[in-house]
Chain A
């Protein structure tokens, strides 16, 4: 066990900043998961597989010279279609939330096998013009790929929040999540809305995947590494809430980064999961 060492102020603030960056990715990953779970009662484990598939596609396109952000234009519609297709299947067979977990776990296995057969199990790293770019603010280094992730996460979360809160579509979705038959009786076309929402969630997963490819090395087995901490962010933030995953993800990211700076990196998971347990036990009503 490493001794506790108090890091310097500049190291600490650099850790907080990197915590914010990784937290933004937790939030972006969690957003689609949270909406799918909270508003459609679909616990989509395949969300992570979608993100990785998008990351690999982005890697592939970038290796042929396409800018990763331009690749989004091709990737997002593709994943929207995949998500809507999955929702169509789930609705057709009236899957319970728990069976949806298992179904999407099966799908994750298929996607993992697909990735492995195309790109092998080796680690891959996207090379792009952004990869090495960073600039200095005061004593802090700000890497550009992480900054892109943060900006995207904040902008998208805010946009989703505004749609859910202020548009008729958002109200219809929230109403249908509370009581689908009653919402249908009031004229909500839940079937179409659900397809739209599920497509959006998968599209969000693909955006998170592109951000993932910008700053992390990829391997098929890494799909499972994100599940625990992103689920923690989703639950902490409250299911079906647009800003929740970002806020909770940032909180987790920062506390992990500070833990890593103060103790050892291997203690990092302790923070997020202890937080999650505390929230579930102390305020179970708030998190669902």
Chain B
């Protein structure tokens, strides 16, 4: 892995000798443009490619840097090189100010984010064009001397762009290889799940945006002097973002080097056509190549190449543990078989239960969704070392309880205390860091991560393992624990439901939580898979974790739980030992009456 940064710097140093060869200025300019687009496309990718927040506002940040430099040069006579850090800073501040507002709004994702950033570009462009920054006439920098870094002015620009491109690629690689980068990729795949795993999504998006903007701003600063005459119409347009999106998608957005590959390909292509005086044909050819690339390489050139090269390597033997196919659903009949007071179920639970002090204390918890009262004044205590079952008909508030405690939803009222610390209103990633992990009823793995990387992410963010390599080793131990070690390098979509449920468990456990919230892990499993899962849950408790689980499969509830609480219409209906509570008449009418219906649903 450490060969990559050495290769980047080595290439940068080697290319720095190029002006000494005395090539015509024509080549300096072509190489400058390639490097310029490498910086812009790669910087765009750090936010947009890694997190999936496709920004169409890169022109605004590039333009902010460009106009910062030109204003400082033309009006304040600053030395050119000193303007570049300021250009980067102005662009970054602008980006952070925008992100601080936009990233708070949960709905602004995907196309909406793209459009919003595009609109910001036009607004800033209008402001710049109508104020003395530009004045509608453009700014001429022809009187500004080019610093004598290279033998000629064109060589100076080439060297500046080379330095910028080398640092940008180093940063892009560094981010991708780090814990920060893993968090960004997780945001791309499933932002809510990432937050629950402990990724500080809001802060990470802001940081990625700041880095992205600063690099674009610096590139803008250099480009201002390169152009020597800047106008609003050529900067604050849709052309800049479209070009960088095009380059990045063509090269591959999930790889640090993808945008650079795309930038070289497209700049070279456009230039070869304009040089041969076929500008119109070049435009058409670029369009055709783009269409072909999207149709035949939707993931980009680089991932495609990797796949072709990867085929030669021998694959890990993917011997999955023997899986009975998920066919029969747990039916209502099973709930009757394991009816309240089933002695054998009680015995199987084992007698060595040491229940300690209160770990999680929930008081007066309220959650409202507009008119619906999902939770009303719920009081629950979870004691250290116990397995607490949450029961109740569908819509009774069990999953809402898990969602509120894990920070997925904010509570309307009430208090949640964990190990004596108040967690109410904390964002989900803080709650994860405090030692609470959860699973989703419908597994939500990060689709583009391998199984082991899915677990490693949880180890990195929820747990204390900061180093990605150590996190992968930690992840392997949890895959062995859950019997998924043979599938470590598989993609989640290659797993069956049972395996995905166990992957959810492995992810929850990898953060070494003191409290695990399980949302219907058994739902949809066959009877034998259910038995395996029950055994696993018991082993999790034996490891020292406390467990709260939502479940409809009565056989498992009776086998596992030390205590149960029953919800109905958002109210706490009953609490106590499973066999005793289920005999209470009002519980039987509220729960068992509907359980037969609930068990029969698809």
Chain A nearest Cβ from B103, distance in angstroms: 11
Determine whether the beta carbon of B287 is less than 8 Å from that of A107.
Answer: yes
Determine whether the beta carbon of A97 is less than 8 Å from that of B111.
Answer: yes
Determine whether the beta carbon of A99 is less than 8 Å from that of B294.
Answer: yes
Decide yes or no: A277 and B120 within 8 Å by CB, A113-B280, A116-B280 being known contacts: yes
Which one of A105, A107, A266, A280 contacts B108 once the chains associate, using CB atoms below 8 Å?
A280
**Which B residues are in CB contact (< 8 Å) with A167?**
none
Q: What count of chain B residues pass the 8 Å CB interface test?
A: 44
Chain B nearest Cβ from A95, distance in angstroms: 7
Chain A nearest Cβ from B366, distance in angstroms: 23
Of B88-96, B126-134, B402-410, B465-473, the stretch lying at the interface with chain A is B126-134
Determine whether the beta carbon of B281 is less than 8 Å from that of A113.
Answer: yes
Q: Which residue of B lies closest to A117 (CB)?
A: B280
Determine whether the beta carbon of A281 is less than 8 Å from that of B288.
Answer: no
Which one of A37, A106, A269, A280 contacts B286 once the chains associate, using CB atoms below 8 Å?
A106
Cα distance, A108 to B295, chains bound together (Å):
16
Of B157-165, B181-189, B204-212, B235-243, the stretch lying at the interface with chain A is B235-243
**Which B residues are in CB contact (< 8 Å) with A210?**
none
Residues B110-152 near A (CB distance < 8 A): 110-112, 115-116, 118-120, 122-123, 125-127, 129-131, 136
A270 within 8 A of B: yes
B245 within 8 A of A: yes
Determine whether the beta carbon of A109 is less than 8 Å from that of B118.
Answer: no
Determine whether the beta carbon of B131 is less than 8 Å from that of A1.
Answer: yes
**Which A residues are in CB contact (< 8 Å) with B345?**
none
Chain A, residues 272-285, CB within 8 Å of chain B (1/0): the string is 01101100110011
Which one of B107, B119, B287 contacts A277 once the chains associate, using CB atoms below 8 Å?
B119
Chain A nearest Cβ from B472, distance in angstroms: 30
**Which A residues are in CB contact (< 8 Å) with B286?**
106, 109
Q: Which residue of A lies closest to B116 (CB)?
A: A280
Determine whether the beta carbon of B287 is less than 8 Å from that of A110.
Answer: yes
Count A/B pairs, Cβ under 8 Å. Answer: 126
Which one of A97, A106, A227, A235 contacts B287 once the chains associate, using CB atoms below 8 Å?
A106
Which one of A105, A116, A231, A273 contacts B246 once the chains associate, using CB atoms below 8 Å?
A105
Determine whether the beta carbon of B294 is less than 8 Å from that of A95.
Answer: yes
Chain B, residues 243-261, CB within 8 Å of chain A (1/0): the string is 0011001000000000000
Q: Which residue of A lies closest to B288 (CB)?
A: A110
Cα distance, A171 to B283, chains bound together (Å):
41
B298 within 8 A of A: yes
Determine whether the beta carbon of A114 is less than 8 Å from that of B118.
Answer: no
Chain B nearest Cβ from A39, distance in angstroms: 14
Decide yes or no: A280 and B112 within 8 Å by CB, A113-B280, A113-B281, A285-B107 being known contacts: yes
Determine whether the beta carbon of B283 is less than 8 Å from that of A231.
Answer: no
**Which A residues are in CB contact (< 8 Å) with B129?**
266
Determine whether the beta carbon of A267 is less than 8 Å from that of B115.
Answer: no
**Which A residues are in CB contact (< 8 Å) with B112?**
235, 280, 284, 287-288
Chain B, residues 270-298, CB within 8 Å of chain A (1/0): the string is 00000000001101101111110011001
**Which B residues are in CB contact (< 8 Å) with A277?**
116, 119-120, 123
Partner-A contacts on B (CB < 8 A)? 54, 101-102, 105-108, 110-112, 115-116, 118-120, 122-123, 125-127, 129-131, 136, 237-239, 242, 245-246, 249, 280-281, 283-284, 286-291, 294-295, 298
Question: Can you spell out 27 A-B residue pairs with CB atoms less than 8 angstroms apart?
Answer: A89-B295, A93-B295, A93-B298, A95-B294, A97-B111, A105-B246, A106-B287, A106-B290, A107-B287, A107-B291, A108-B287, A110-B287, A227-B238, A228-B119, A231-B115, A264-B130, A266-B129, A266-B136, A273-B126, A276-B115, A276-B116, A281-B101, A281-B102, A284-B105, A284-B108, A284-B112, A285-B107
Q: Considering the complex of A and B, which 9 residue pairs feature the smallest CB-CB distances, nearest first?
A: A284-B107, A109-B287, A106-B290, A113-B284, A110-B287, A106-B287, A273-B119, A106-B291, A113-B283
Partner-B contacts on A (CB < 8 A)? 1, 37, 43, 89, 93, 95-99, 101-103, 105-110, 112-114, 116-117, 224, 227-228, 231-232, 235, 264, 266-267, 269-270, 273-274, 276-277, 280-281, 284-285, 287-288
